[in-house]
Structure 1
Amino acid sequence: MKKLWFLSISALAIAVSALLIQLQVSNTSVETITFFPLNDAVKYKSASTSLSLLKDKKNNQHQVDWKVHSSLDQEAYLRQDMGLLFVNGLLKGKFAKWEQDTSDLSQEEIISYGESARYDAISFHYAELHGGGDRITSAQTMSDDMIYVIDSPFSPLQSFTIAKSNQEQEWKKVLDQSVKNRLEQSLKNAEKTFRFNASNYISIPLDKIRIYEDQPIPGFTKKETANILGRLWEGLYKNYYLGIKKSDGTAVDPIGSTMPLILVARDKSHLLVVTQTRSGESIILKQLLQDSN
């Protein structure tokens, strides 16, 4: 029997009610991302995610250098960065880092893969700030990067972000279609399992969510959108990054699962986060949204 999860969401500009079922992990002392009201007076000086192809192969696989860095304009009680890396629409790598009383965080990992691929990396940069009394606020931003890697016996190993040559344009078309097909199939499986109609939603693949730092989600204000994004990443960390809880109560590693799709209901009542485990089980996270007016 499939299981529908609910994430609670509360925002300064929106009132939300939802049942929260949090993933239980074996190490209960693990750090987590906890959303607090956003502090508009605190800014990120820089935040970046970068992907670059290394020159030489290792064990007949190409290697991609994945880096994440962020710098706040002041020291924070707690700095947290979370990164997700997808290869051809499937989660290939993940890392997170926490430090107290600091402003800067940096992470780096080498990812190996054996064939041509599209790499999509997105990071959530978070800071927990303690003010006077018991007041706790937060600051957040996102960064992302993507590259295409051509790893074929018929051409030299190479990478690009913007397709220029005919060969690059053809590879881009093939790899983009592969990712699109994978995510569409994940969505179709979820529709069938949970009996909803995807046409009633605005679909946002996770690698495209960053655009809503600069513009509001349709139907919401920019401030409402920022709060929704903060709660979204809190939920993704607890229910996706740390492990995906299956319907039988067991938890599985998210590596190999499909890139989450964010589905925003056109009537503004809720949003869904759709993913599929490596074994093919559909999972949905649901946030019930209600206007404050």
Structure 2
Amino acid sequence: MKKQLAMLAIIPFLCTCVLIYMWQSASAPAITYFQEDPEAGFQGTSTAVKLVSQKTRDSYDVVWKSKSVSENEAYLRQDVTLLFDNGRLYGIKTKWKENTDTIKMKEKITGEDSNYYQAISYHHGEVHNPDDQITSIQQMTYDQLYVIDSPNTSMQSFKKAETDDEHEWERLLGHTTEQQLSYSWNQLMDHFQINKESYTAVPLTGLEKFNHQPLPSFTQEQTNQIIGQLWEGLYKNYVVPFITAESESETLTSFVPVILFNKQNTHLVVLYEVNGKKKRLIQQYPDF
């Protein structure tokens, strides 16, 4: 009887532990930009897309992974990585951990036909200092891969074209992707009645350059804040709906979002669509 009573007492405790673990695994705290920490940073960050094997005559495996290691353990480390296939969103992965310095994500995907893969990751850390001040660290990484699966040639892959054949495939796949994205972005700008001449357009997959290239008329420190707050908005409005849908087995489709930087240096606009529904995110620049 005592053993039965003990088991009855343990079962609710175990169920609670399981529910807490499932909740922590499925949920992800919002990415919040705090003032950049001048004394903290990353030891290493990377994003990689690599062809690893040919499964059948018509399919192959690609490994998509992201990794970041901060110089010291942070109160909260969180990364998000997005993979696009010929301009179409293939998937989003996000992971967070408390009191750690390392975040790793890896997934093997199956592809068919010739494809142009692009992956961009945002690596973030929330640092709680002894004086109760909260600061943050951030870094973006990017990788791309062309996989050529044609009946006329043996399967191959490359990241940057070197031979004449590779340059031709780069041109073909790049042109196909650019056409698809240009059509999508123009539809979005027409829908929201945006004057294209007032903005500089940058695809989400092209943001990595701003790690070391300031926006026009801004310092690198100011650019870092603008980009950090941009990712804060992207995570809440673009990433979270997708990872929530995945947990609910709902299929969502999207293309590479476009970021429009206002030439008057007052704000930026993010345009994207989800299942054909047009979305807009406006972010005012800080009053530097």
Matches within 5 A, 1:244-283: 255-277=252-274, 279-283=275-279
Amino acid at match of 1:40: P
Matches within 5 A, 1:60-99: 60-99=58-97
1:288 paired to 2:284? yes
Q: Which structure is larger by alpha-carbon Rg, 1 or 2?
A: 2
Q: Distance in 2 between matches of 1:153 and 1:59?
A: 9
Contact 1:186 1:282 in 2 (8 A): no
What's the C-alpha RMSD, in Å, of the aligned pairs? Answer: 2.1
Against the structure 1 CA distance between its residues 119 and 221, is the aligned structure 2 distance closer, same or farther, given a 3 Å change threshold? same
Contact 1:241 1:254 in 2 (8 A): no
Aligned partner of residue 57 in structure 1, secondary structure: strand
Against the structure 1 CA distance between its residues 252 and 265, is the aligned structure 2 distance closer, same or farther, given a 3 Å change threshold? farther
Task: Name 1:20's counterpart in structure 2.
Answer: none
Amino acid at match of 1:168: E
Matches within 5 A, 1:4-23: none
Task: Name 1:13's counterpart in structure 2.
Answer: none
Against the structure 1 CA distance between its residues 48 and 255, is the aligned structure 2 distance closer, same or farther, given a 3 Å change threshold? farther
Against the structure 1 CA distance between its residues 183 and 86, is the aligned structure 2 distance closer, same or farther, given a 3 Å change threshold? same
Task: Name 2:134's counterpart in structure 1.
Answer: 136
Deviation of the 1:188 alpha carbon: 1.1
Task: Name 1:247's counterpart in structure 2.
Answer: none
Deviation of the 1:149 alpha carbon: 0.5
Task: Name 1:207's counterpart in structure 2.
Answer: 205
In structure 1, the gaps of 5 or more residues are: 1-26, 245-250
Q: Report runs of 4+ in structure 1 exceeding 6 Å deviation.
A: 251-254
Amino acid at match of 1:284: R
Structure whose residues are more often helix by fraction = 2
1:233 paired to 2:231? yes
Amino acid at match of 2:208: R
Q: Distance in 2 between matches of 1:110 and 1:225?
A: 34
Aligned partner of residue 53 in structure 2, secondary structure: coil
Task: Name 2:166's counterpart in structure 1.
Answer: 168
Amino acid at match of 1:241: V
Q: Distance in 2 between matches of 1:290 and 1:265?
A: 14
In structure 2, the gaps of 5 or more residues are: 1-24, 243-247
Task: Name 1:35's counterpart in structure 2.
Answer: 33
Aligned partner of residue 55 in structure 2, secondary structure: coil
Deviation of the 1:166 alpha carbon: 2.0
Once the two structures are superposed, what CA deviation does each residue of 1:121-153 show, in whole Å capped at 9, x if it has no partner?
A: 010000111112431111111111001000112
Q: Distance in 2 between matches of 1:161 and 1:30?
A: 32
Once the two structures are superposed, what CA deviation does each residue of 1:248-278 show, in whole Å capped at 9, x if it has no partner?
A: xxx996853010111101011211111122x
Once the two structures are superposed, what CA deviation does each residue of 1:202-256 show, in whole Å capped at 9, x if it has no partner?
A: 1111111111111101122111100011111111111101117xxxxxx996853
1:48 paired to 2:46? yes
Higher relative contact order (CA 8 A, sep 6+): 1
Contact 1:47 1:71 in 2 (8 A): yes
TM-score (norm 1): 0.83
Aligned partner of residue 98 in structure 1, secondary structure: strand
Q: Distance in 1 between matches of 2:190 and 2:208?
A: 29
Aligned partner of residue 190 in structure 1, secondary structure: helix
Task: Name 1:217's counterpart in structure 2.
Answer: 215
